[in-house]
Structure 1
Amino acid sequence: MTSYTDRRPSIVERRPSSVSAFSSRRPSVIPELQGIEKPNMESLPDDLECDVLICGTGLIESILAAALSWQGSKVLHIDSNQYYGDNSATLTIEQIKSWFINSKMQQTGFKNYKNIKLDINDHDFKIVSRDYGIDLSPKILFTKSNLLSLLIKSRVYHYLEFQSLSDFHTFEDNSFGKLVSSKEDIFTDESLNLLAKRKLMKFLKFIVGDDYLAAIKEEDKVLTLKEYLSKTFKLEDKFSNELIYTLGLVNNPNIDTISGLERIRRYLLSLNVYGNFPTVYSKFGGPGEISQGFCRSAAVAGTIYKLNTKLVDYDAESKVANLNDGSKIKINERVVSSLNQSKEKLESLGKKLHEISRMVIIVDKPCCEWFNEGESASVVVFPPKSLNSNNEYPVECLIMGAGTGCCPDGKCIWYLHTIAPTTNSVAEHDLNCALKKMEESILRESNFDFEDFDEGDLTMVNENKLGLTPSGTLKLSQSLQNFKAKEKLRYVMKLEFTQLTIVDQAESFRGYGYSDEIATTKDGIIISNMPSSELSYDGIIEEAKKLYREIVGDDVDFFDVDFEDDEDEKEMNDFNNMKTAMDMDMEMDDNEQAILDESEEGQSGDLEFEL
């Protein structure tokens, strides 16, 4: 059992820090939560009655609890764990050990995991458990998204600290390429010929247009996104992979044209909303921190919280729920449970279980070579067929350095996942192949020395950054092929597990890992659709609204609350004023256009675009 003293400092115990473009001011009073800043209740009040009982403090359930509470419902929110977050929790090393044991035993609160392996290297490292915050379902937040809008509207952002993430890499040709996603990137990339630049510019101009959907022919809507990009824009696989899997973060290679284009557009429209980056993440932990933020909001609105408490049984006729602390709760409306907290066996839900395979590695290297200046995180994507395993599905990796508040200096956390099948160890093989490539890459790059290159091999990207000319890129490629590491990358921890979910991740709601259907047990308990394989938070608000509608009848008053007051009005205006006007003008200047037009005369004239 994890002790109270092992937990990481809570939100109210941490001082705010300067965060990229976001206000770090916290309200003078942050609501305390049961089991964190104040002792957990020994027992609930006698004859307690509530409208909705929610089991599990995961992100979906926490948003739902806050929405219902602010709407006026009486909510009792419990969790069988001794921490908040459920299947989206952020855990210390000691809590990971406890999670590992309970998950192996399939205890309530730990039901939707299998194939679990844990190796902690406490022989070579002196590990301070609380120095680490390990996400069970890591995610990043697009700056133009429903969840970020809700965090601002609900004032939950007051309880969080955000940092920017702008570094996205695609693994191709045995190397990690920097993402080409803007006009500036395209025209400064010396590895692209002029025809390739024109193709990319045409596509980017098309996808950010307000009427892009109207330009898609009906017969093209049934194509996969990759087929559409090849047919309409004549894009090579290299560029299609980057657009689909790195910009779009698509985990299904068969995604349809409309859904896929929506995801690419999401990335581009999120650039320059708050700065020169498309995504942010919450410091000190991902969904676990945001879950806790919504729980605090719900507590302000009257939700009662109790940890280390689980639902024993529920009588749908009498609407009485029995809890393991002996409490009998009268439920006026509905009971909602996460898959983890369900008292039912997963198979009894009558739905096929689907899999998300994950690997979490804590490495003994800072990995700053993979971060943009001033940042502490990056994303690496391995498209289909890019690994030695001939992977059918992409492998996505989120890299979190010490600046994220999730690990100490000199260490870094790698989160890898895939929706490849676990049958015949396919997913495990894909993940290990990706891990090997990352190991090789960081050892090469951390030993890279610009002094080995001549002046003609180097070019100034900006006043603070050197880049490589085509000759330098060729020399680098040759040197990397012959590189032999003089050291071995050491792990502090390696965790492998498969998450189970009731939603087909390859065929889900617009590819976000959710479903429009409501899952219920035989006694009417609503089961929420978490976890998902989606690396972003997109789809989560839709899922929370779906549950809200099932309970309330509609979602017209979902967080329809005026959270403003005179004291906070100026701060909210300041926050909104930080939004810079998005500059997505994809028109090329006269000189650029003349160069490209001239280049077309000497190349194939067989280039047509339907716009």
Structure 2
Amino acid sequence: MESLSETTWDVLISGTGLQQSLLALALSRSGKKVLHVDKNGFYGGPDAAFSLQEAEDWVKTVENDTLTSSLFCNVSITSTPQPDQATRSSDSARLAVSRAYCLSLSPQLLYSRSALLPILVSSKVFRQLEFQAVGSWWIYNPLKAVPADASSPIEHSNSSSERTEEAEEHRRREERPPKDRRGELRKVPNGREDIFKDSTIDLKSKRSLMKFLRFVADYESQPDVWESQASSSFSEFLASRFNLPLPLQTPLLALTMTPDTPVETTTGFALPRIARHLRSIGALGPGFGAIIPKWGGGAEISQVACRAGAVGGGVYMLGNNVEAVNLKTENETHTSKRDGGESCEGLAEVQLQNGDKIKTKWIVGSDYDLPALKATSGFGKEISSTRSISVVSSPLPSLFPTITEGAPLAAGAIVVFPPGSLSTETKDVPGEMPPVYLVAHPSNTGECPDGQCVLYASVSAESSRGHTLLDQAIENLLESVDDESTPKVLYQIRYTQTSASSSSDKVQEPEAPPPASSALENVLLFPPPSLDLVFDDSILERVRTFWRMIVGEGGDEGDEGEFMVFEDREGLGVDLSDDE
């Protein structure tokens, strides 16, 4: 067997983040010689998932590594003192062993109509993944005063099974001591039936809302209605075109998952996102439109994709950084498809952290994973999001009501705190404050033990102000849920994540060509991971473009003629899924 240095590699992929891992999956049947390295000792890179101990190690790495800090900064971990064995009321009131947790840096939702799902099916890796339904969207409403005997703040559940559950819950609530609350959670209607049954919406507003829903279901064919306002505020569009007041705009804005204020959220950004949400409901099962991968979200997809790359002959090396790159070392020629197929002379010589020097035709990674190149990728203006991952001492069952009859158990819930719903000590004008999002994952996701829940919080605000908003949102949520006592935050990771602005909020703008290094065409760079709370399908277009450049138009060997369309490997079709 040839050593690494004796092999001429077709592709060196640096980093095992989701983008690089999907490219490794695409190349797994190409017959290409692929060397896949990662400076980290774990898979996933910026999309990884951690046990408690791994999270501690990651924080230390970020604090000491200027390269890692280019994506993450202001990282910290806090945990509450653990109760003594003799005094704790239940296991949920204390942290379990480190490995009982799988805390994800990439808990993005996947809509049922996402372009990624057909790819996972056609590439045959779906057998190694388990997806779970995202249930309800909730909106937090602050209250000036809530009676001590107020009923549960979680309202507007309309199926017969939910009404039966609510009746039993109401009886139990009557037997509990009163609990002060600052606000209530209201469920976002899940369609026309919910809207008509909602007693808080007057008849005129219901008609306006139904008119908008009919429009958005086929908005692409009605450009005369919206294109002139594509760059205008979505709130202004809803008010002027559909006479929708602010209280009815709020749930629609929540469905967009916009990181921006209502004034900054454009019509061209919002319409395709609301349409995506509505069109996805029922595609994979009754009553839900979004799913999440079990065991750590995007991190699990990365691992499965890398596993497929290894089965296809790729060589994997964790804890091995790219130390130096010499882009032209020999007069050997390979073909580039970037500009019509002209040849690109020279192999790149790469020195790895372990001392190996290898030769490769293509180098793929990101600025974050290929610091030796000192490349300027030019992906746009830097943007950031303040985030936290919190383990709480309750399963928060009221966030996960039965979706509808015949639907699977909900494994995710979205809680949106609209601008102005949180009071802070800052002097922010409510309309100028961004929304806060909390994504709740219960124990059936495999991310925490029974009796606990993981809250993924994010807001587009600088670190100090952002964490003030996140802390208050978490506190208000825990006070609002219907538990016998207010749940506690047992453990929390806090950080700021940076990325680059994209064109995803612009109307029908074509995908720009993926940038290469300023020096040579055979260096292909991925952008930083998206900060979107929903999986960004544009990732797949970039992966497809890189794959085509590497294997050639239509493919030239193996069975890779169609992107990510594979036959079952003989003897492996069932065994891989059984290993999970």
TM-score range, shorter chain: 0.7 to 0.9
Structure 2 partner of 1:397: 438
Q: Does 1:283 align with 2:294?
A: yes
- Whether contact under 8 Å (1:156, 1:297) holds in the other structure is yes
Q: 1:114–1:565: structure 2 CA closer, same or farther, 3 Å change rule?
A: closer
Letter in 1 for 2:231: V
Q: 2:419 aligns with which of 373, 384, 398?
A: 384
Pairing 1:214–2:249 present: no
* Alpha-carbon displacement from aligned partner over 1:370-390 (angstroms, at most 9, x marks no partner): 112232321111222332243
User: Paired residue for 2:565?
Assistant: 561
| Structure-1 residue corresponding to 2:127 | 158
CA drift of 1:567 comes to 9.5
Residues 160-239 of structure 1: pairs in structure 2 closer than 5 A: 160-173=129-142, 174-209=183-218, 211-239=220-248
Contact in 1 for aligned 2:386/2:496 (Cα 8 Å)? yes
Deviations along 1:2-43, one digit per CA (max 9) or x if unpaired, are: xxxxxxxxxxxxxxxxxxxxxxxxxxxxxxxxxxxxxxx9x9
Counterpart secondary structure, 1:379: strand
| Alpha-carbon distance in 1 for matches of 2:292, 2:187 | 20
Deviation at 1:151, TM superposition (A): 1.1
What residue is the counterpart of 1:338 in the other structure?
366
- Cα 1:103–1:552 change in 2 (3 A) is same
Residue of 448, 453, 462 corresponding to 1:407: 448
Report the counterpart of residue 336 of structure 2 in structure 1. Answer: none
Q: Which residue of 2 aligns with 1:361?
A: 390
For 2:360, give the aligned amino acid. Answer: I
- Cα distance between partner residues in 2 of 1:516 and 1:237: 36
The equivalent residue for 1:545 is: 544
Q: 1:313, 1:289 → 2: CA distance?
A: 30
Separation (CA, whole Å) in 1 of partners of 2:419 and 2:353:
47
Other structure's SS at 1:336 match: strand
Query: CA distance change for structure 1 residues 567 and 548 in 2, over 3 Å: closer, same or farther?
Result: closer
**Secondary structure of the structure 2 residue equivalent to 1:396:** strand
Alpha carbons 1:79, 1:306 under 8 Å: kept: yes
**Per-residue CA shift, 1:85-142, capped at 9, x if unaligned?**
1100111101000001011001655642111111134643353011000001211111
Distance in 1 (alpha carbons) for counterparts of 2:573 and 2:11 = 32
Q: Percent identity?
A: 29
Distance 2:553 2:233 in 1: 34
Q: Distance in 1 between matches of 2:232 and 2:518?
A: 40
Aligned equivalent of 1:589: none
Q: How does 1:443-482 map to 2 (within 5 A)?
A: 445-447=482-484
TM-score, normalised relative to structure 2: 0.76
Kindly tell me: are residues 383 and 563 of structure 1, through their superposed partners in 2, closer, same or farther at Cα, counting changes over 3 Å?
farther
Structure 1 partner of 2:494: 496
Query: Among 247, 250, 261, which residue is 2:255 paired with?
Result: 247
Distance 2:544 2:291 in 1: 23
Amino acid in the other structure paired with 1:168? W
Asked if 2 retains the 8 angstrom alpha-carbon contact of 1:143 and 1:278, the reply is: yes
Q: Aligned equivalents of 2:513 and 2:372: distance in 1?
A: 19
Q: 1:188 to 1:202 in 2, by over 3 A?
A: same
Q: Is the 8 A contact 1:358 1:418 kept in 2?
A: yes
Which residue matches 1:421? 462
Distance 1:145 1:352, change over 3 A: closer
- Is contact 1:383-1:393 (8 Å) kept? yes
* Residues 1:120 and 2:79 are matched in the alignment: yes
Distance 1:63 1:421, change over 3 A: same
Distance (whole Å) between structure 2 residues aligned to residue 67 and residue 270 of structure 1 = 26
Q: In the TM superposition, what are the counterparts of 1:21-100 in structure 2 within 5 Å? A: 45-100=4-59
Among 257, 271, 277, the residue aligned to 2:281: 271
Task: Select the structure with the greater relative contact order (CA < 8 A; seq sep ≥ 6).
Answer: 2
Deviations 1:170-204 (A, max 9, x none): 22343221011311101111111111111111111
- Asked if 1:101 is matched to 2:60, the reply is yes
Question: Partners in 2 of 1:511 and 1:490 — Cα distance?
Answer: 43
The answer to whether the Cα contact below 8 Å between 1:87 and 1:340 also exists between their aligned partners in 2 is no
What corresponds to 1:602 in structure 2?
none
Contact preservation (8 Å) 2:14, 2:37: yes
Q: Does 1:131 align with 2:100?
A: yes
Residue aligned with 1:533, SS: coil
Question: What is the deviation of 1:541?
Answer: 1.6
| Paired letter, 1:45 | L
Provide the secondary structure at the position in 1 that maps to 2:494. strand
d(CA) in 2 for partners of 1:364, 1:545 = 43
Residues in 2 aligned to 1:132 and 1:103: alpha-carbon distance in whole angstroms: 20
CA distance in 2, matches of 1:140, 1:364: 24
Q: CA deviation at 1:44?
A: 5.4
SS at match of 2:57: helix
Amino acid at match of 1:536: V
The CA distance in 2 between the partners of 1:511 and 1:432, in whole Å, is 35
Map of 2:327 onto structure 1: 316
Q: Is the 8 A contact 1:110 1:340 kept in 2?
A: no
**Contact between 1:419 and 1:533, CA under 8 Å: does it hold in 2?**
no
Alpha-carbon displacement from aligned partner over 1:544-594 (angstroms, at most 9, x marks no partner):
234445655768956253425899999xxxxxxxxxxxxxxxxxxxxxxxx
- Return the alpha-carbon distance in structure 1 between the equivalents of residues 495 and 554 of structure 2: 36
**CA drift at 1:255:** 3.1
Deviation at 1:432, TM superposition (A): 2.2
TM-aligned CA deviation for residue 543 of structure 1: 3.6
Structure 2 residue aligned with 1:585: none
SS at match of 1:145: coil
Residue identity matched to 2:136: D
Mean Cα displacement is larger for which, 264-273 or 365-374? Answer: 365-374
For each residue in 1:219-256, what CA deviation from the matched residue of structure 2 results, as whole angstroms up to 9, or x when unmatched? 22332222211111111112212112x22212233233
Greater shift, 220-229 or 551-560, is seen at 551-560
> Taking structure 1 as the reference length, what is the TM-score of the superposition?
0.73
In the TM superposition, residue 418 of structure 1 has moved relative to its aligned partner by 1.6
The whole-number CA distance in structure 2 between the counterparts of 1:567 and 1:47 is 31
Residue 273 of structure 1: SS of its match in structure 2? coil
- Contact preservation (8 Å) 1:382, 1:396: yes
Residue aligning to 1:15: none
Q: 1:357 to 1:346 in 2, by over 3 A?
A: farther
Query: Following superposition of structure 1 onto structure 2, how do residues 3-22 of structure 1 map, counting pairs within 5 Å?
Result: none
Q: In structure 1, what residue type is equivalent to 2:302?
A: S
Range with bigger deviation, 96-105 or 524-533: 524-533
Matched, 1:371 2:400: yes
Alignment partner, residue 34 of structure 1? none
Aligned residues: 481
Query: How far apart are the structure 1 equivalents of 2:32 and 2:233?
Result: 44
Pair 1:304-2:308 in alignment? no
Change (3 A) 1:508 1:144: closer
Q: 1:426 to 1:282 in 2, by over 3 A?
A: same
One-letter amino acid of the counterpart of residue 321, structure 1: V
Is contact 1:111-1:339 (8 Å) kept?
no
Matching residue's letter, 2:96: I
Aligned to 2:335: none
Q: State the superposition RMSD in angstroms.
A: 3.0
- The residue identity in structure 2 corresponding to 1:437 is N
Q: Counterparts of 1:546 and 1:247 in 2: how far apart (Å)?
A: 30
Moved more, 391-400 or 344-353: 344-353
Alignment of 1:481-520 (within 5 A): 489-501=487-499, 503-504=500-501, 508=504, 510=506, 516=512, 518-520=514-516
Q: Secondary structure at the match of 1:536?
A: coil
Question: For the residues of structure 1 that align with 2:367 and 2:386, how far apart are their CA atoms?
Answer: 17
1:216 counterpart SS class: helix
